[in-house]
Chain A
């Protein structure tokens, strides 16, 4: 299994602040993903990456941005947080290039006041 770390686990922040959610993995997986999930609702893919310098938008429109400068890190940034960004953000990695079995981190629960 992949070791996937997300920090912070919980974040409460005021409107207008810039925030970066960190995701890191130690297994050298090329593919990484960010999902957004509201309580009791479906997971929605917001960003993904196939490797260094590769980023793609997912099926849910998001005001966040991502970068992939190193294989191990896939940070997600919100330039100006709003209450509508309150949600859980889940990072995942994929090992097998053909079957895309994904491994998820513990998530970051973000609250914007």
Chain B
């Protein structure tokens, strides 16, 4: 699976959009981009995933560049409860695929009042 590169930490003002970048320059055609987050001492929480097109759900938006070598997770109106470690993961998505997700170090997002 392609490796990802994320900044170790970021700050964001409460109420502003949080834009978390992720580089995955070696991604291949069948690999999905996943985002999870982990709030202190809890299990990770799935946020969103995508293959080529931009995706949006009730939690966030995922913007994937046209060449798919990078992506950005957007939290449109960050709150204090969004303070967490955010993981960007790339994994092949073949039907019945057998490669588990591999979590890296992630980005520690601090939302500041």
Which residues of A approach B to under 8 Å, CB–CB?
A: 33, 35, 42-43, 45, 48, 50, 58-59, 88, 90, 92, 97-107, 109
Contact = CB atoms under 8 A, between A and B. Distances in A.
A13 B40 CA distance: 24
B17 interface: no
Interface stretch (B18-26, B59-67, B68-76, B89-97): B89-97
Interface residues of B, number: 25
The interface residues of chain B, by DSSP majority, are classed as loop
B49 A101 contact: yes
Contacts of B46: 101-103
Nearest 3 pairs between A and B by C-beta?
A: A104-B43, A43-B103, A98-B95
A99 B50 CA distance: 10
Contacts of B95: 97-98
